[in-house]
Amino acid sequence: MEEVWKLISKTRKTRMMQPTAEEIRLAANALRADELVAMPTETVYGLAGNAFSTEALTRIFSSKERPTFDPLIIHVPEAWNSLEELESNGLIDLETMNPLARERASKLIAAFWPGPLTLVLPKTSKVPDLATSGLQTVAIRMPAHPVAQKLLSEAGIPLAAPSANRFGRISPTSAQDVAAELGGRISWILDGGRCEIGLESTVLAVSNEGELQLLRPGRITAADIQKVTQAVTIPAEQITLAGPTGTAAASPGLLKSHYAPKKPLYILNSSVSSPGFKLDRKDFGLAPDTRIGILVMSGDSAQIKARLQPLLGEALEVRSLSRDGSFEKIARNLFAELRALDDSAAQVLFAEPCASEEGLGFAIADRLKRASSR
């Protein structure tokens, strides 16, 4: 497939669109005609297509080279802000949810939508099996980005939108990142600037009995969810893989390797500024002139580079994720800086571990772990 895309992308033009009323109208028309448009959201850019159209869904899977066992998230307009709205618009089957499930899902919608929380709920037969990889549930999210919302309300249809990267690669947090991933494969990219959050939404399954399972950590944490529902979430690690063997896992986004740079990435044992910090080229079989790239959580890149050069030599790139170590900034910059290092002259990449796995730190650590897993 990659070979075919290479050939196609020699002639196909990808157009950057500005989020003016006129361009959004054009993009919405394209979506209604089952074409694809990459759109900004507050988390990462998504590759959007009509969620009710098998043709559009097929295009999404093929442009991303995404295996069909990995289901998609369906994005909805602001007006669909209740379980009843989701039901009347043909997405969910409310009948199968017991009162507790309805109560909890409703509270979560009221508290976090629009925003970076995806809810996995029982689906109707109107949602194509391709969107859900044959699962009886559908993942739904109401994005908060104003451009995504304008596009959704103008299109008037739910939009399936996985992150707009090739399968397994680093998620895009700018329109330029999307062009680097899918340029020549898709026709339109709507430029909405850099994504505010930078990590994909939290994915939470609400079972028909009202149990909550955290399938993917994100900006909205288990503690945030507990505060609103008074319910403890079951963490992803404890979820047994459901679905027919060899097909859909409980949440295929839990794949061990994901968000991966092209170059090998290792997580360091400690921060580069901790007293015991040690990184020996020999331990990794690296020659003195092999260029090393290091992603640090905080501080000034140039200063850290100057401090590390006596230890690691001249062949070194350092990129910092924040000035002050704030998890919000680290999350916002993580994918962009990882991508920059991947595109730099560095041949082998290292990343500092996240200082804490509490709150948003848990989501950051999760992405780093998967990015470094081969």
Q: Which residues bind Mg ion (CB under 5 A)?
A: 163
Residue 190 is a binding residue for ligand TXA (CB under 6 A): no
Q: Least CB distance from residue 55 to ligand TXA, whole Å? A: 18
CA 145 – CA 173 distance, rounded (Å)? 13
Enter the tokens of residue 39.
């759109």
* From candidates 17, 31, 44, 368, binder to ligand TXA by CB under 6 A: 44
Q: Least CB distance from residue 79 to ligand TXA, whole Å? A: 18
Looking at 71-79, 268-276, 328-336, 339-347, which segment touches ligand TXA (CB under 6 A)?
A: 71-79
CA 370 – CA 333 distance, rounded (Å)? 17
- Residues with Cβ < 8 Å from 150, sequence gap 6 or more? 19, 24
Q: If binding means CB under 6 A, how many residues of this protein chain bind ligand TXA?
A: 29
Q: At how many degrees (to 10) do helices 327-343 and 360-371 cross?
A: 20
- Nearest residue to ligand TXA, scored by beta-carbon proximity: 253
- Residues with Cβ < 8 Å from 359, sequence gap 6 or more? 221, 223, 327
Name the residue nearer to ligand TXA (CB basis): 157 or 318: 157
Residue 320 DSSP one-character state: E
Distances (CA, A) of 33 to 25, 50, 337: 12, 8, 36
Q: Least CB distance from residue 282 to ligand TXA, whole Å? A: 38
- 196 closest CA partner among 219, 224, 168, 225: 219
* From candidates 49, 128, 252, 299, binder to ligand TXA by CB under 6 A: 252
Q: Least CB distance from residue 329 to ligand TXA, whole Å? A: 18
- 333 closest CA partner among 322, 324, 345, 348: 322
Residue 57 is a binding residue for ligand TXA (CB under 6 A): no
- Per DSSP, the residues of 277-305 read ----GGGGT--TTSPEEEEESSS-HHHHH
* From candidates 50, 89, 118, 173, binder to ligand TXA by CB under 6 A: 118
Residue 120 is a binding residue for ligand TXA (CB under 6 A): yes
Segment 324 to 353, residues that bind ligand TXA, using CB under 6 A: none
Residue 151 is a binding residue for ligand TXA (CB under 6 A): no
Residue 139 is a binding residue for ligand TXA (CB under 6 A): yes
CA 293 – CA 352 distance, rounded (Å)? 11
* From candidates 152, 161, 272, 315, binder to ligand TXA by CB under 6 A: 161
Residue 41 is a binding residue for ligand TXA (CB under 6 A): yes
CA 9 – CA 184 distance, rounded (Å)? 4
Q: Least CB distance from residue 200 to ligand TXA, whole Å? A: 4
Name the residue nearer to ligand TXA (CB basis): 118 or 322: 118
Enter the tokens of residue 3.
């070979």
Q: Give residues in contact with ligand TXA (CB under 6 A).
A: 41, 43-44, 46, 70-73, 118, 120, 132, 135, 137-139, 141, 143, 161-163, 200-201, 203, 205, 215-216, 251-253
